[in-house]
């Protein structure tokens, strides 16, 4: 028969496709079970922030939120419960997504948003990383808008049941198999232990100054979409009349944003927050209690436990003043 190899190919392709789909469903089911049974680690924190957090104070932001704000300290000082939804590597679109889902379930008394000017700059990665919302897409329709930021084809890829857990297997394995060695968060707070040395800070300043010369000629541009997400975050808080603190947390250098050519974004944050009555803007980037104090920083971008404890106490005072 003339078409025998073609028929043979298509029969085998069909059979293999069935096996592949079954394997995908099976793997997806197993990964889902493991994913949602995690008790420690940042995946479980996102799950908690999206599905369960009902505290009086909710903190949003990137790793600088997760590493800088201790809910225990804030709760103790204010007498209000507090949860930190900050997450490593995620920026303002992620904060907007978590806030949107959270507010549909519960209205907190106060919101803290930790933001860094670079979050409003042009950087595609802040959208690519929204793929971490994929495991929640089936339960929370609102998240689809954010997932499409990763790529317009992302909803189509969800045909695969394994795909929502793309790039997550390693962390899931660690959180499950090595659960004892994974640090349990304190209501979302994950302090860093190490310290920068004076020499490292000096070396960093030197390199940043060199870089600044190069990038100072570049035209600063705030990214419209990121600005829109920031505005959406502020609008949502205003809609429910929630007291909001928008905070730029401390940096090791007192001129970080000047050197990084991010003053336009920094000033835009101040200007935008000024338009909302419920919002207080706090900028600690030039605070001498932190600038140059290498011992309070774990790396160039993050406070360590000493620095974050001190900083959380300062925030707690502001919380008290605002409620």
Partner 1 sequence: MLYPNTLHQFMLFNSIDFIIFYVVVTTLYFVVPHKMKWMILLAASCYFYMAFVPIYILILGFTIVIDYLAGIYIENEQSPRRRKMLLGISLAANIGILVVFKYFNFLNLNFDLLLHKFNYHNPIPYLRILLPIGLSFHTFQAMSYTIEVYRGNQKAERHFGIYSLYVMFYPQLVAGPIERPQNVLHQFREKHKFDFSLMQSGLKLMLWGFFKKLVVADRLSIFVGSVFSNPDIHNGSTIVIAAFFFAIQIYCDFSGYTDIAIGCARTMGFDLLTNFKRPYFATNIQDFWRRWHISLSTWFRDYLYVPLGGSKVGTGRRYLNLFIVFLVSGIWHGANYTYIIWGALHGLYCVGYVAIRPYLPSPQNKFAAKLVRLSGIALTILLVTFAWIFFRAASIHDAFTLVRNLRSFGAAPFIADGLNNFAQCILAIVLLFLLEYKMEYHPGKFNFFSSPNIIVRWGTLAFTILWIVAFGVFNGGQFIYFQF
Q: What is the largest CA-CA distance in the chain?
A: 86
Angle between helix 92-105 and 42-51 (nearest 10):
40
Of 93 and 108, nearer to partner 1 (C-beta) is 93
Q: Where are the alpha helices (DSSP H) in 112-193?
A: 125-128, 144-150, 154-157, 169-177
Q: Interaction with partner 1 in 69-98: which residues (CB under 8 A)?
A: 88-89
With CB under 8 A as the contact rule, which of the stretches 135-143, 167-175, 184-192, 218-226 interacts with partner 1? 167-175
What is the C-alpha separation between 190 and 69, in angstroms, rounded?
9
With CB under 8 A as the contact rule, which of the stretches 70-78, 145-153, 242-250, 271-279 interacts with partner 1? 145-153
Distance of CA 14 to the CA centre of its chain: 42
Residue 49: CB partners within 8 Å, gap ≥ 6? 58, 83, 85, 98, 102, 188
Residue 102: CB partners within 8 Å, gap ≥ 6? 49, 50, 53, 58, 85, 108
Instruction: Name which position in 210, 239, 271, 289 contacts partner 1 (CB under 8 A).
Output: 210
Tell me if 204 contacts partner 1 by CB under 8 A: yes
What is the C-alpha separation between 251 and 256, in angstroms, rounded?
7
Q: Computed over its alpha carbons, how large is the radius of gyration of the chain?
A: 22
Tell me if 60 contacts partner 1 by CB under 8 A: no
With CB under 8 A as the contact rule, which of the stretches 95-103, 148-156, 248-256, 286-294 interacts with partner 1? 148-156
Q: Interaction with partner 1 in 169-188: which residues (CB under 8 A)?
A: 169-171
Q: With contact defined as beta carbons under 8 Å apart, do 178 and 39 qualify?
A: no
The nearest distance, CB 323 to partner 1, in angstroms, is: 34
Q: Interaction with partner 1 in 110-139: which residues (CB under 8 A)?
A: 128
Angle at CA of residue 269, ends 140 and 257, nearest 5°: 115
Instruction: Name which position in 203, 235, 270, 295 contacts partner 1 (CB under 8 A).
Output: 203
Closest CA to 320 of 73, 31, 27: 73
What is the C-alpha separation between 125 and 175, in angstroms, rounded?
25
Tell me if 270 contacts partner 1 by CB under 8 A: no
Of 18 and 104, nearer to partner 1 (C-beta) is 18
Q: What is the DSSP letter of 303?
A: B
Tell me if 16 contacts partner 1 by CB under 8 A: yes
Q: What is the DSSP letter of 189?
A: B
Of 233 and 257, nearer to partner 1 (C-beta) is 257
The nearest distance, CB 204 to partner 1, in angstroms, is: 7
The nearest distance, CB 233 to partner 1, in angstroms, is: 24
Tell me if 298 contacts partner 1 by CB under 8 A: no
Tell me if 20 contacts partner 1 by CB under 8 A: yes
Size of the site for partner 1 (CB under 8 A): 38
Tell me if 217 contacts partner 1 by CB under 8 A: no
Closest CA to 238 of 265, 264, 270, 274: 274
Q: With contact defined as beta carbons under 8 Å apart, do 310 and 289 qualify?
A: yes
With CB under 8 A as the contact rule, which of the stretches 12-20, 45-53, 69-77, 99-107 interacts with partner 1? 12-20
With CB under 8 A as the contact rule, which of the stretches 108-116, 137-145, 162-170, 246-254 interacts with partner 1? 162-170
Tell me if 144 contacts partner 1 by CB under 8 A: no
Closest CA to 250 of 199, 287, 201, 204: 287
Name the residues that contact partner 1, by CB under 8 A: 5-6, 8-9, 16, 19-20, 23-24, 27, 31, 88-89, 128, 150-151, 153, 156-157, 160, 162-163, 165-167, 169-171, 199-200, 203-204, 207-208, 210-211, 214, 300
């Amino acid at each position: 028969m003339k078409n025998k190899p073609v028929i043979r190919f298509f029969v085998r392709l069909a059979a293999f496709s069935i096996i592949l789909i079954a394997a995908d469903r099976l793997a997806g089911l197993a990964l889902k079970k493991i994913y949602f049974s995690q008790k420690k680690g940042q995946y479980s924190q996102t799950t908690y922030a999206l599905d369960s957090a009902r505290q009086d104070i909710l903190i949003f932001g990137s790793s600088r939120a997760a590493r800088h704000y201790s809910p225990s300290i804030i709760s103790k000082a204010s007498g209000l419960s507090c949860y930190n939804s900050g997450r490593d590597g995620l920026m303002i679109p992620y904060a907007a997504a978590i806030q949107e889902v959270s507010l549909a379930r519960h209205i907190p008394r106060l919101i803290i948003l930790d933001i860094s000017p670079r979050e409003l700059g042009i950087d595609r990665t802040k959208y690519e990383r929204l793929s971490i919302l994929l495991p929640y897409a089936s339960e929370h329709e609102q998240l689809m808008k954010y997932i499409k930021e990763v790529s317009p084809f992302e909803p189509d890829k969800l045909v695969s049941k394994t795909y929502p857990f793309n790039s997550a297997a390693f962390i899931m394995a660690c959180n499950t198999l090595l659960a004892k060695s994974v640090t349990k968060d304190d209501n979302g707070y994950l302090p860093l232990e190490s310290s920068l040395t004076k020499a490292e800070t000096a070396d960093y300043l030197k390199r940043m100054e060199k870089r600044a010369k190069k990038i100072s000629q570049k035209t600063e541009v705030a990214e419209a979409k990121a600005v829109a997400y920031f505005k959406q975050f502020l609008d949502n808080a205003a809609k429910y009349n929630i007291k909001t603190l928008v905070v730029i947390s401390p940096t090791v250098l007192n001129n970080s944003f000047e050197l990084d050519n991010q003053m336009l974004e920094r000033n835009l944050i101040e200007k935008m927050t000024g338009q909302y009555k419920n919002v207080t803007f706090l900028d600690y980037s030039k605070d001498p209690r932190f600038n140059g104090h290498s011992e309070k920083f774990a790396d160039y971008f993050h406070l360590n436990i000493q620095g974050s404890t001190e900083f959380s106490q300062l925030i707690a005072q502001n919380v008290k003043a605002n409620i």
